[in-house]
Chain A
Amino acid sequence: MQALYHRLKALFPLGELTEQRENLVFVTVDAAHLRSLLLQLRDIEGFTHLVLLTAVDWIETGEFQLTYLLGNRAKRQDIGVRVMLSREQATMATIHDLWPTAATYQRELREMFGIDFPQSPGVNEEFILEGWNDIPPYRRDFNTLDYAEATYNDRPGRESRDPATYMREKLYGEGH
């Protein structure tokens, strides 16, 4: 897939190529060039199948990674296009006009990560959550354990002992 990378690299400012395996690569592109790169891949290079669109929260660097995974069935190849967005202004251009099904992904990303896709049909409608008023739950700073502890009650009567600590108490520790 080196050849493909070089062809694309001549047209778009691409980041390093990550060759995950013989038929799966990842490239990074800036948000401004995403649409034209996707079009090039879809219409010229034969990557017609939008496998998935999802996000990864790299909270440490303050970025969201959007991954557009495209498949070329004839060549049995897949390419993941990564776009890094600032977590602060997480907005991205919609691609529902290229793949209508992308609207569903974008609606979910809006709900779960708080990434906006203006003009994407129904992007602000609730998809999976109902009456959610916390931060978008798939963000890394949403703590599921804290949420569960605050929202639900544990069945009473649970306790557990750490073997090493317990042995210290019983066999050699303070006051023994």
Chain B
Amino acid sequence: MSVRDLLSPFSAWKNVLRDPVTIADPLNRDAAPRYRGFHQNDIAKCIGCGTCETICQNGAIDMLPVDSVATKIGDSGLRPRIDYGRCCWCALCVDICMTGSLTMSNEYKWVDPNPDNFRFTPGIDRKSWDSAELGYQRPEQHRLTETKRIAMQELEADERIDNFAEIVAGYTVAEAKLEADRCVSCGICVATCPTHMAIPEYIAAVRDGDYERGLKILYETNPFSQVCGRVCTRKCETSCASRHEGDAIAIRWLKRHITDQVPYERYREIVGDPLPPTGKKVAIIGAGPAGLTAAFDLARLGHQVTVFEAKGAGGGMTRYGIPEYRLPYEALDRDINLILSMGVEIHYNCRIGVDRTMDSLQQDHDAVVLAIGLQQGRQTRIPQSNHERVYRAVDLLHKITANEPFELPHCAVVIGGGNVAMDIARSLARMQKQQYGVVNITVTALEEQQHFMADADEIKEALEEGVLIRDRCGPQGCEVDTGGKLIGLKTWRVVSIFDEERRFAPKYDEQDEVVHACDTVIEAIGQFSDNSLLGELLTETLEWDRGRLKIDAAGRTSEPWLWSAGDCVKGPDVVSAVADGHRVAASIHQKLQEEDR
């Protein structure tokens, strides 16, 4: 104790001469730029995936329909409503938001006499802070989910160009787990999948390493899981929540991974036995994905199913259209054999209209399904295109699969920019490499390359394999020399493809003419269905819709015993054909049950 201790405290009096430090107007104090204040939601960006609700540990977020947002593919139409009686402003919802639509303003004052008003839907219920620029937004580097897809191991161009070995290796268990881990299980993709596979559930099975559970889930909705695991058009991935701020989940590869991991011997037991026989008989024409899916469903329900296939093996376009390097025949055979193991009888090389008539099928069966696909290639009908060295892509692909001989071109030009064009170009490229040592294939199409119908991967890989691509080329005629030999394809430069009403009406620059030298021209501009098997009488009786058989939503034709499914009525797509197969099977089953009552 000292004199200082007695006097020093009086120094507090100096504050009398100081200005106060209190903030004079605390109500108008702006919060810091990163302040975690009231929520904002960019409604146009939000897809209603509900990941914010999932992560909210307070249970403050509900996903609810709002009037101004419609449910559509890739958008649930739900929007998050936040209960400020529960929110703790931790911003995990902002951090996890898959689209970056959810942010926080730096506004923090809100006075309201009605407590229920503090439950609001940001972006829908207008608030003064909706357009505030400052506030918490997820920092660029701060991500709670992985945005990059796990790369797939694939054969390099030089490893794959001289053979038909499968290009894609398939994920390893570790890779698949990492990829499956990226999925937020929102389920937005399920609506997009034509057959509505339980995607989040089977991805969860990959995460858990429970492949048998995963397989069971797959075959509930898709008996062509090995096929779709490789060549599905994967519409699901276009509506994946992860694609908004990163790569979509590799849903297709994860599906394939499950089928890779379960030993094939286990499949039958996991998928399970069919129900007891009902005594009902169903005939299915065409052993493609649609026909065999219907066969699978109906056989599992206990009906006696017989499939009639014109070709020597099942699979339809998946066998005779898709090249082996994309879909090995063994994978296809495994799916088909599983379907047949349900008690499905199949007659190969049996052409309806020739070997058996539709009448006899109708008499012997309770229901008949027409699932004949699109076997015939469309023709350009340009001058000289009836030359013997002008082929349809589907015909050539069939020859390659069936091992039928044809003269391998030294130099070929393909017309068309879709996946079939790429398939034939890349198949021929492989054969040229094997037989001639050099690849000499040109693909020409009307569109600009970035607008080709073909998958970007297909185009990239075709280029890597030495295929030339000439875009914006309109075919005008085949060039034939005096000896009658095909020497080239003449094209004009495309100025525009559609007219003002978006109708197909290509315009050309006639001055910009190119002759692509070649000994073979291949048309890959689409396919159509050959309905001659129906016979004249039935064709007359049935109702048609612009050249296609008219069917209702369940696949019923105008004849009560006849259904139709797949590419022949819905256009080309494997997974859509599978979905269609399910649809007609359900409709037939319902009909057969009604008959029993």
Interface of A toward B, CB cutoff 8 Å? 155, 157-168, 170-172
Contact = CB atoms under 8 A, between A and B. Distances in A.
A172 B221 CA distance: 15
B186 A161 contact: no
Given A162-B63, A167-B187, A171-B191, 4 more contacts: A157-B116, A161-B78, A165-B187, A166-B71
B183 to A, nearest CB: 13
Nearest to B187: A164
B103 interface: no
B64 interface: yes
A160 B71 contact: no
19 contacts: A157-B119, A158-B83, A160-B62, A161-B63, A161-B76, A162-B50, A162-B63, A163-B63, A163-B76, A163-B78, A163-B187, A163-B188, A164-B188, A164-B200, A166-B76, A167-B77, A168-B190, A171-B72, A171-B73
Chain A interface SS verdict (over half)? helix
Contact of A170 (B61, B77, B116, B187): B77
A30 to B, nearest CB: 36
B181 to A, nearest CB: 19
Contacts of B190: 164, 167-168
A163 B186 contact: yes
Query: When A and B form their complex, which 3 residue pairs have the shortest distance between CB atoms, in order from nearest?
Result: A164-B187, A163-B76, A160-B62
Contact of B49 (A159, A163, A170): A163
Contacts of A166: 63, 65, 71, 76-78
Nearest to B196: A172
Nearest to B579: A172
A162 B187 contact: yes
Nearest to B188: A163
B135 interface: no
A165 B191 CA distance: 9
B48 interface: yes
A163 B83 CA distance: 19
A162 to B, nearest CB: 7
A170 B71 contact: yes
Contacts of A161: 63-65, 76, 78
A159 B64 contact: yes
B85 interface: yes
Contacts of B107: none
B53 interface: yes
Contacts of B83: 155, 158
A146 to B, nearest CB: 15
Contact of A167 (B53, B85, B191): B191
A157 B62 CA distance: 11
Name, among B64, B85, B186, B191, the residue most crowded by chain A CB atoms within 10 Å (CB to CB): B191
A164 B71 CA distance: 11
A169 to B, nearest CB: 9
Contacts of B116: 157
A164 B53 contact: no
Nearest to B71: A170
Interface in B27-84: 48-50, 53, 61-65, 71-73, 76-78, 83
Contacts of B73: 171
A155 B81 CA distance: 14
Contacts of B62: 158-160
A164 B189 CA distance: 8
Given A167-B190, A170-B71, A160 B64 contact: yes
A168 B307 CA distance: 32
B458 to A, nearest CB: 29
Contacts of B188: 163-164, 167
Nearest to A154: B59
Contacts of B53: 160
Interface in B168-219: 186-188, 190-191, 196, 200
Nearest to B74: A167
B78 A164 contact: no
A153 to B, nearest CB: 13
Contacts of A158: 62, 83
Nearest to B48: A163
Contacts of B64: 159-161
B97 to A, nearest CB: 14
Contacts of A157: 116, 119
Contacts of A159: 62, 64
Name, among A158, A159, A163, A171, the residue most crowded by chain B CB atoms within 10 Å (CB to CB): A163
A172 B187 contact: no
A164 B186 contact: yes
Contacts of A168: 190-191, 196
A164 B193 CA distance: 12
A115 to B, nearest CB: 29
A163 B50 contact: yes
Nearest to B51: A163
Contacts of B72: 171
